[in-house]
Structure 1
Amino acid sequence: MARGGQRQHGATRTTTRRRGRELDNEGIIPVLARAVREVEGAAQRGRVKPAARIKFQVVAMLAREERQRVKLDPELPEGQRAEQLKRLDGIGTILAKTTARDTTLLSLLAEDAFVPDAARILRQDMLEAAGVETADVPRPPSTTNGHANGHANGRTHVVDLDRQVVPRSVLSRQLANPFLRPDFAGAHRAPQARRLAGWELIEPLLESFERAAGGATSCMALPEESSVKAPVGLELMHHQAQVVAAAAAGHRTFLLADEPGLGKTAQALLAAQAADAYPLLVVVPSVVKTNWAREVGLWTPHRTATVVHGNGDTMDGFADIVIVNYEILDRHVGWLGSHGFGGMVVDEAHFIKNKTSQRSQFVLQTADRIRERTARPLMVALTGTPLINDIDDFRAIWQFLGWIDEKMPCAELMERLEATGQTPIDPGFYPAARSAVIDLGIVRRRKVDVASDIPARRIADLPVELEGEVGRSIRAAERELARRLVERYDTALATRRSGAVVDGIDHALVRQVAAWEREGSGDKPAGGGENVFTMMRRIGQAKAGLAADYAAQLARSVGKVVFFAKHVDVMDTAEALFAQRGMKSASVRGDQTPKVRQANIDAFVNDPDVAVAVCSLTAAGVGLNLQVASNVVLAELSWTDAEQTQAIDRVHRIGQDQPVTAWRVIAAQTVDSKVAELIDSKAGLAARALDGSDDEVGSSADVQTEALVSLLTDALEARAAR
């Protein structure tokens, strides 16, 4: 199996033969050095444009591959190895500084980040420029002509017209239905504000979910199902049938936020059938496209589904259900808006929480165009974790559902708010506003309440000691990070205006210093050193063998195990150890094709000899059913409780008949243990906003900052005690 970054979207090397490298200007490193300087220059001139972003991603990808090759090449003299690694470190430093200038580039550094066609081609060109023979990569259409298309709600979408495609089968459908016209019966109505005219309402609406729960769960009134039936051979649970019955009764917008594992896919498909919302558009993460097509065959077997891959050459334009993934939505957004869809489902809707991202913009644009052409379309947002960072995550989802626009509530919600007879200055406005939003279609049920037949789950922390040189190195790096924070704190304290008196530790300044460190984490500290992100990465690498060993022991004693990690090298280490132990494993990663990914999932589920599924925390943490196992090993910590929960709920879901245990491997006496505590403390966001809990609502986005606060505070207290 290919390793590390070399497992990238088919652009593989056909040979590793390289020309001699007697001169410094030969090989891949000088090619990367020139390219990274070009990207750095682009970042210095302002926001990094698409072409430079592609170059940034390819440089990072090839630098990882080259580092791996240099470290493992047995024929490379040690002196030459050290020199090449030093030059690669220089490239990495420039990438980090560039990321600090434009933090949106961070997502491109993930090993399982989506790699577009243009990046694969540039990768091939750079390898060829370095004298490395490569397999030919098909050239996609030019992507240089970007155009901005305005939209009714005031958003501007950069649409690359050269990338726009209309699949041949879609053209055939259009020709077969020449008189297909928009249905303007549901045309947009302007909200009529009377008492609330002049009030800013979006923030109060969001705030109502922070402070007005009052112990109540966030779930609209649902009918008791009567005649809702599941297909032969399947069982529809009571809570699922209620949503289907609501759609049959005429409800048309749902934020279906049931906890993961309660069968949201089946509810969405049967709700579409009850509402006759065909053709139906389903937008999903790429990792679950194949699974959605399978679910259509199970729950609505008389309906046809087509999965859009690439330019859609193999799709069926006449299908009842069109399944497309977020990553290729940009090329299909044109025809999707005019296809005459009767409904739209967005799976893992928290993916669109960042309204400035193109992914979010294209989803919102497509939803608006469907509403413009279809009277009361069925709009469904599916997510078990609608709130990940803070309450503001609701905005994009509510906008997709048509409840709000950029600036104010839409007509139906405004009418409900006016009917309360109150304004945001009245205390009673907030519980009434919360109820008004919920009644539009928020559906939130917990496993403990609606699925008593699902066994319990628990999270068990498994502390491990990092021994030897690796452990000493990590602890030394953590001490150095703490020393640097203390030095920065002392400098800031010394430069305060005269007259400032600080008694003991200035905790406000501690938090400010931590924020400065986090914001500048892309810069490599002078003289070397680590930041909190690289520290966690190194800890993950150090834990990899220990976590894999524990997973192997579990698999031997209790059966199948799901192993989650964030980084490819940790997954590689685990797979190598399982192979060494004679254990079969299946890999689920972000850079696999849907066909390969599904084949690996099927092998884990159906083959008794496949003992472990080695999964990417980001790529396999959503949409998969792995309840054939009851033990999960979390080799690396996420930065959010939501991501951790999503991973565990691949196993803890309907169909599970065993208690589920998630074993969280934590490096003792390191920042790893602090991060684990912080993740647990931030788990109350959805509980407070949606489940009526009294837990404090906080942001999960500041876990990095809080970890740095903890490090600095401990160091200052230790200094004071001396």
Structure 2
Amino acid sequence: MDDSSKVGRHARAVLAAAKAFRAEAAGVRAEPDRLLALAAAQYQEVRNSLVADQLRAMPVDKLRDTKANLRLSKLKAAGYRTVADVAEARPEQLDGVPGVGRQSAEQIVRVARAVVDGVARDTTVRLNPDRPDRAQTELLQLMSKLRRANQLVGPLREPLGDVLGRVDADVRAASRAWSRVRMFFSLRKNRQAAIDALDRLEALLASRDVAALRAVGKQLRVPDLDHRALWRDYELDAAAYNTLLADLAGADAMPDRSAAKGFVPADIEHEVDATTLDTSLLKVSLRGYQVFGAKFALARKRVIIGDEMGLGKTIEAIAVMASLAAGGRRGFLVVCPASVVVNWVNEIARHSDLVTHRMHGAGRDGAVGEWLAQGGVGVTTFGTLPKLVLPKRFRPALVVVDEAHYVKNPDTQRSQAVNTIVQRAERAVLLTGTPMENRVEEFRNLVGYLQPGVAARTGAVDAVVGAKAFRRVVAPVYLRRNQEDVLGELPELLEMEDWVEFGKQDRRAYLDAVREGNLMAMRRAAFAPGTPRGSAKLERLLEIIEESRDNGWKVVVFSYFHDVLETVADHVEVFGPLTGATSAQGRQQLVDAFTASEDHAVLVAQIEAGGVGLNIQAASVVIIAEPQWKPSTEDQAIARCHRMGQVRKVHVHRLLVKDSVDARVQEIRDHKTLLFDHYARESDTKHSHASALDSAVSVEQRVVQAEQQRLGL
């Protein structure tokens, strides 16, 4: 097309299309902000409703607690029975009540509104899937859309801004081509500039980028999730939603900013805040305190993160690795107990785009070779680390040592192996949930691996002056936050899946049970060896109990099986077991004794007995030894230990064995197709086990057949 034919009608069509695209692109770019404003307004509506509910439940006599000399009896007689009634009134309305003067009316309203402000400050919105109301559902719907918009538009915001700027400039330059007369009277350079701008607009409108943007716009216009699917999505990813909820709440949701930052000195806080955390390789939203923890590790390079159990130390370490990887670093190493290797591999894959290499057990040497060649995250154990053959000049970009208190004794082989690899690494992060201020000598040893100078300055006197003061003294290397420090950012329940792998003994017991077709034996085979060395589940359970003891938390262990509880009781001092054979009076006596005990204690209970009709709210940790067939069974047991609004959150640990009946039960609970159904369709076994596809056959039998087929038994 020659330049003259581009002027006039053709130019007007291109300019109209460019302006339409510009409006569409601007709308896509602004969609997260639009949804954020709507979600913030809905958050305030939900919060105001919660405040109003509290005020309506607060008798007007509560105003006497302010120590003000208020005349309330006349108001009560006139129908002002709650603080809400008074706070919503104007002074002149109260002045009209017989016996209440103008001055008293103004004082009463002033005091009532001060109470309202106090209630509002202390009110935090917590989404409750068990009792969802209309306003919370609308808020969750907006949050769901906002999450989707952030995911779709977030990576495009900056390039879209550039595109919009270029479109605006080209539309202005090409506008003279709208009219042949205007082009005729324009300077040659301006005519050429108009034609060039028109060509650029046409090229842009025909490009794949425009098609991709329109696809994003279409994705943003998807229908709302139905009520059930919406709340199910919340339950599956509550952490991300609650992080967004905290953002909507703003700074008021954080009870103590210095606490959430571990009471570090101002200079370190500023250094950490100024550090960039690249989250482009993460699949998870970080809570505010987790962002600070990851930045702390990046800024200080060699640190101990000692956040209390349940606050997400693993996520923080993954965020550090992901940020370094996004910047081009490679070769990250995680050293951990064998019992949590599976957890690390799963969590890294679930929360990031990093590639993992399982450098433990069979295939270890091959995995090491792949890790050295490809980069990513190598996951190994304390026992395997000394056996790894690494090039002499190899320096990991980051070493993460989980459960770092395992290397508190510098004279052991594993401590020396950890120290060697930490010294070679560019950066190191040691993770431990054990409160180090109670174990100064052990703490000094850990710090010695990282910053010997700080270790030399740390003494017992530092711990005596108090936990917060201790944290400030060791701030250059140590960051610890307790639940109370970040309460506003936490959900009511902190639920974790603790995946482990069979060892030789528990695997043998499991294979025997599968071979016999004994489902009950399959479900408890993980505990059959009866020792931590032989049972991966028991080893992990005892680790959780030990960390709970260090934090002074009480623990309830639930299992369907009496012999599993007896195995636990063989290794720790317990109250119980509380079983179906325990009388009602005996059950209450056990719970009362457990509750009355000082500090840490362990209660073991059959889930069908202890999960019904008892209040075990002294417990901070719930361990479910094996998955139950019905989610409601676990929910009822957890409810015995958890009440809404309590200050101490409840940790729920579900113990699960990879590649076992536990996974099949999870599939049933999550309404997924049974693994057996896949095998039945794909293999000759569907003839020998044809009945397994018959809906009349029990789920239990199908699970047994699925495992027999999977294992070739």
Q: Which has the larger radius of gyration?
A: 2
**Structure with higher helix content:** 2
- TM-score, with structure 1 as normaliser: 0.32
Q: Which has the higher contact order (CA 8 A, sep 6+)?
A: 1
- TM-score, with structure 2 as normaliser: 0.32
